[in-house]
Structure 1
Amino acid sequence: MENRSSSLHFITIEGYVEVSKYGHLYFVIMFAAYLLTLCSNTLIISLIWTHPNLHEPMYVFIAALSVNSIVYASAIYPKLMIDFVSEKQVVSLPVCLFQWFTYYTLGACEFMLLTAMAYDRYVSICKPLQYPTIMTKTRVCVLLALAWLLPFSQNTVALCLNVKKKLCRFLFKGVICNSSVYRLYCTGSTTLTTYGMFVFTNVVILPVLFILYTYSRIFFLARRSKDMRRKAMETCLPHLLVLINLTVFIFYDALLVRIQTESSKTVRFVVTLQVIMYHPLLNPVIYGLKMKGINRHIQKLLCPCVKPK
């Protein structure tokens, strides 16, 4: 099997647990999560698109997050569902690298979008009189473009570096192709590791530091006024919850890469599924429940006869 895999550059995925026994159950769970992700995020996008009072930068960024979640789920979930009902779980090298690229690019886009939202909230609460002149349509479009293009371009360079690497091992202990795929290469790469840390700093560490700085400024200034405190809690708390949620899952992913050989297969499998499934599902729940502008329209949609408070 290993010789055949070597000649075809196919990688055997060893991270699944009891697929032959529970594969169809896994498929149903993943398929349900996929449908819920599509429906909930599409609902958020539709509400923001169809209601003029939601055509504000804050809601535009929320819609962008939902688009990101849909693309992420559509890029990752189908391969998992195919594996759950297949006799053998294998992946070709090009598909593995595509999975790696989309996994980290869309994750980085999430951090960049949250950074743009933090800047928007900072200007709205700390500089309310200047908000219309600062957060123009042009600036919002530039922030959206940077949020998607910067991670895409930086990870494209990393992808090119990965393509040049030669495989000597064809047994992958994970479920989806993340940084653990580096263990399959014949030789390590200082260039790839260094560049990876550079990208991680640009799209994760610096955005998180900026978000923490802006929100600390917001909450510091919000102490002066009851109205400012209310506005800060209503609009910033959901963003902080999403940031904490995303950061925890990124930490999980980094931890899984480090302890891949030491932890049990069951632990790795369960945690990986949580990383993949929870975040795209939690985003629309958090914004749907915590953002009054969106929650009001959801209530009206679900209960048209009841006037929302």
Structure 2
Amino acid sequence: MLLSYSEVWEVCVEYIFRPCTVAVGAISAVVYYLWGCEGQTPLLVCSDGFRIFLERYVPVVAEQFRPTPWCWGGRLQTLVRVLIKSSPAVTYRNELIRTRDGGQISLDWVDNTDSTVYPECSLRPTVLILPGLTGNSQQTYVLHAVSQATRRGYRSVVFNNRGFGGEELLTPLTFCAADTSDLERVIQHIRMLFPQAPLLGTGVSLGGMLLLNYLARKGSEAGLVAGLTMSVSWDTLESCASLEQPINRLLFNRHLTGNLCRAISRHRKMLETVVDVEHVLKARTIREFD
């Protein structure tokens, strides 16, 4: 069967030109993105003295950033992490401590008694880890952090926010990034157990916000020799608005809100004494939940 010139053209457009155009466009987008990021170094917002310290002891801050070619951009990296992840084997020792208001906090310890770098238990540095929103000691990023700390001879302890470490709520109170009282209680407890051991704090996302708020309030009386935060909101209101953009709302906001609602449902018996649980469970965004 012979095709007319117009039919041949339509076939070429449908099966050759259009796919090639899409492929070229995708490749161009990647090249443009990588080219735009070429030569950029992290932006350090700090005093000159601290900048000198970082550049001397943390040289990675002065290196050029080149995103992974096959996985660039925050959204894609976040989604890929869910699909491609590993969970190091970590065995915790759980401890429940009480708070002044009658509540309880779950702490998960890795004592690292086999440490050859710091064999003396009373002097072994302790890394306090604060997970992100609705997270706990079983999150993959926490397991990796604990595994790395163990390899370097440190002791680790994960601070699970109230109601998120498997323990029961004893009071109608969970957590908030602006309320540092539970974190202060945990740090006092650790310092009491190991008064001679250096204590370092690290927080991810909401855990980082909590740690920064604590450091800002306590200053030199914080009881920590160092603090590190990762993926922390620079401007909470802007971050909340960003999460409500269509793509972010679909990919992240509904998921996080769902986790929050499930936590409320899990502790319904205690929380329904102070809030309308059924109304809370209708929330579809973090803003609505708050």
TM-score bin (small chain): under 0.3
TM-score (norm 1): 0.23
**Does 1 or 2 have the higher relative contact order (CA < 8 Å, sep 6+)?**
1
More helix by share: 1
More strand by share: 2
